[in-house]
């Protein structure tokens, strides 16, 4: 079990190197290209289990006892397989954060720079189908946002500029019927607005340890 755990950690390190080359493979081997324009600072190779009582947040900053945390935080399932690995520098998220399902498939791939979301974030359902794809610039949504239902059908196709909806926005029911179809121009919506679902299959990350 220990061998499998350390194997998973090594795998994540190699994955982060691969991501620097702007290519991430989904569960079904399709290739997604990311725009990793921001430089990620090097994080010390220190690993700390999230169950360590010395780890705690003060607002948006992670501390180990009274010191800003520098290193990796991880969690494991009962099987000792890796559930999450994320890196912090000066108490803020820095670099690759990844979650995995108990079946070893990737659940989420996210990138941070000084605590702000950057580049393209990917999410997958447990069956390996895509769940979401978001692009961030300096912590704000930018360009195309996509979310999918578990059956693989598209749920949402939105466009953002500087963190705000901009341009064409579309949503579908799970059976493929259009639910919303409108355009945002100068902050105003034009077209079929529809009603947003209570659930959001995408970005639910909160400022708590995984």
Domain that holds residue 181: 2-40+100-192
Say what the pLDDT of residue 4 is.
45
Reported as a single tens digit per residue, the pLDDT across 167-199 is 999 999 999 999 999 999 998 999 988 755 434
Q: What is the count of structural domains for the chain? A: 1
Say what the pLDDT of residue 112 is.
97
Task: Report yes or no on 87 lying in a domain.
Answer: no
Task: Report yes or no on 143 lying in a domain.
Answer: yes
Q: Nearest Cα to 152, choosing from 177, 175, 130? A: 130
Task: Report yes or no on 180 lying in a domain.
Answer: yes
Say what the pLDDT of residue 193 is.
83
Say what the pLDDT of residue 28 is.
37
CATH number at residue 114: 2.20.110
Q: What is the mean pLDDT of residues 34-56?
A: 81
Task: Report yes or no on 14 lying in a domain.
Answer: yes
Reported as a single tens digit per residue, the pLDDT across 84-142 is 999 999 999 999 999 999 999 999 999 999 999 999 999 999 999 999 999 999 999 99
Task: Report yes or no on 73 lying in a domain.
Answer: no
Task: Report yes or no on 168 lying in a domain.
Answer: yes
Torsion of CA 102, 107, 113, 118, to 10 degrees: 180
Predicted confidence band at 41 (pLDDT cuts at 50, 70, 90)? confident
Task: Report yes or no on 68 lying in a domain.
Answer: no
Say what the pLDDT of residue 192 is.
84
Task: Report yes or no on 206 lying in a domain.
Answer: no
Q: What is the mean pLDDT of residues 140-153?
A: 97
Question: Where is average pLDDT lowest: 17-21, 33-37, 121-125, 158-162?
Answer: 17-21
Say what the pLDDT of residue 210 is.
53
Q: Nearest Cα to 155, choosing from 171, 168, 179, 136? A: 171
DSSP secondary structure, 154-178, as one string: EEEEEEEETTEE-EEEEEE-TTS-E
Q: What is the mean pLDDT of residues 35-42?
A: 60
Reported as a single tens digit per residue, the pLDDT across 4-32 is 444 454 444 444 433 333 333 334 333 33
- 91 vs 133: CA distance, rounded Å: 26
């Amino acid at each position: 079990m220990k061998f499998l755990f350390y194997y998973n950690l090594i795998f994540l390190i190699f994955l982060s190197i691969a991501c620097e080359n702007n290519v991430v493979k989904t569960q079904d081997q399709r290739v997604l290209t990311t725009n990793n324009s921001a430089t990620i600072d090097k994080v010390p190779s220190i690993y700390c289990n999230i169950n360590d009582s010395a780890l705690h947040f003060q607002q948006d900053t992670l501390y180990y006892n009274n010191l800003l945390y520098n290193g990796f935080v991880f969690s494991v399932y009962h099987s000792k397989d890796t559930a999450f690995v994320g890196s912090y520098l000066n108490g803020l998220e820095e670099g690759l954060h990844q979650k995995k399902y108990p079946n070893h498939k990737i659940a989420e791939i996210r990138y941070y720079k000084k605590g702000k979301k950057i580049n393209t974030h990917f999410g997958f359902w447990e069956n390996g189908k895509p769940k979401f794809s978001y692009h961030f610039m300096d912590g704000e949504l930018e360009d195309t946002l996509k979310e999918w239902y578990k059956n693989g059908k598209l749920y949402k196709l939105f466009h953002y500029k500087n963190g705000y909806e901009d341009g064409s926005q579309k949503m579908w029911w799970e059976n493929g019927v259009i639910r919303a179809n409108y355009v945002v121009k100068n902050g105003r919506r034009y077209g079929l607005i529809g009603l947003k679902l209570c659930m959001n299959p995408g970005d639910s990350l909160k400022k708590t340890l995984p």
